[in-house]
Every structure is written in structure tokens, then in C-alpha cells.
Amino acid sequence: MLDYELIKKTEEFLKQKFDKAIYLNEHPEAKAYRLEHTYRVANIGHEIALKEGFDETEMVIACLLHDIAYCEDFKEEGWKEHGRRSAHISRPFLQDLGIPADRINDICYGIAIHVDKKADFPGENTPFALSVRDADNIDRFDAYRIHETLTNDKFLEMSYMEKTEYITKRLSKLRELREVPFGTETANEMWRSRLEFYIIFFEKLSNQLKKSTNVIED
């Protein structure tokens, strides 16, 4: 069961940090995206926790805080550090919430490793900790992300051949990703389901594209 009081405090902390971020406030579209992504990850994490028997509140809190380091200004090469920085920012807040020390470390470890699987403090790759990264990765494959990716890659501006090559590469990569292992069976099932949705979409797009230049012979 969710402790909405703790979750509300976490939401307020997150938004306060984002509201003071120079870059995010100069780029409102980036701020909106980061917050929306954070909530989607939190909801995915909640689903994993519910089905795996993890503490639901702790998982939602971990996911809400996983990208909080975006409140800081970092150069492109500093992107890999944002998981570890998010853990550093989160720890004193979690202590103020009264969460037990061992659980704080598990939460922070999950946050720290979600980018590149590395932390700058001791911890274990528990199913709970791995699930923060899993939820983040699963959010990369949903209906919104298809729209976002095609828009960012300027798909509509491509030539017919460019579109064909683009779809072929996407499908090849998606089929490879089917075998990526996750920390829990719930996450594995969610991952496979989302990938199948992606594959079906791009297969349909490919089929439609093939019918866009001539009449197909019987």
C-alpha cells in the first residue's frame, strides 16, 4: 500500500529542485519532459513493486528521485554521473523522511546505478535496486516514445529510401533487445510486451511504406 504522505513530500522536493534549476527553467519543454518521464517511471516502478512484493512506497520514491540531478547544470559528458548525483542529493532527504538506513542505501543504490550500472558507494544489485533502472528503461519503449523518436529523428522529412533504411535498422535493433535481461520477471514481461508493441508498429509502418510508391503485384 502506498504512503501518500511520503510520496507527496517526495513530489514537493522534486518539484522544488526542478523549479530552482537554471537550465530547466530556461528550457520549459525539457522541464516538462523530465517531470513527465519521472512520473511514468514511478508508475512503472509501482507496477513492478506491486507484482514482486516490494515496498511500493519505497519504489515510487526511488523512481521519483532517480533523475533529480537534472536540477543541476551539467555538460553533455557529465550525463553519465546523473544517477550517482541523484543518489547523493536524495540521501539526506530520505533520512529526513525517516526511512531506515538499510532501505535508504538500497534506494540510493538503485538510483545511482540506473544510468551505467555503477555506484560510488557500496551496495548490492538487489531486485529492488535493479528495478529502478528497469522502470527507467521500460519507459523508453511506449506509444509516446514512438511519436517522440520519429519527431526528433525528422522521419517525415526523410526520403523514401531513408525511411526504408531507418525502419529496417530499428526493427533489427528491437529484435536484438528482446533478450536483454531485467531484474525481475515482472520487468521482463513488461519489457517483452513493450518491445512486441514496438516491433508490430514498425512492421506495420514498413508494410505501409512498401505500398506507398506503386501497385503491388498479385
pLDDT in tens, 127-149: 999 999 999 999 999 888 899 99
Q: What's the rounded Cα separation, in Å, for the pair 50 and 57? A: 10
Q: What's the rounded Cα separation, in Å, for the pair 139 and 107? A: 19
Cα dihedral sign for 199, 200, 201, 202?
A: positive
What are the structural domain ranges in the chain? 4-138, 143-210
Mean local confidence (pLDDT), 94-107: 97
Q: What percent of the chain has pLDDT over 90?
A: 87
Q: What's the rounded Cα separation, in Å, for the pair 12 and 116? A: 27
Q: What is the pTM of this model?
A: 0.91
Q: What is the CATH class of 4-138?
A: mainly alpha
Q: What's the rounded Cα separation, in Å, for the pair 199 and 181? A: 18
Cα dihedral sign for 122, 127, 133, 135?
A: negative
pLDDT in tens, 72-99: 987 766 678 999 999 999 999 999 999 9
Q: What's the rounded Cα separation, in Å, for the pair 207 and 15? A: 44
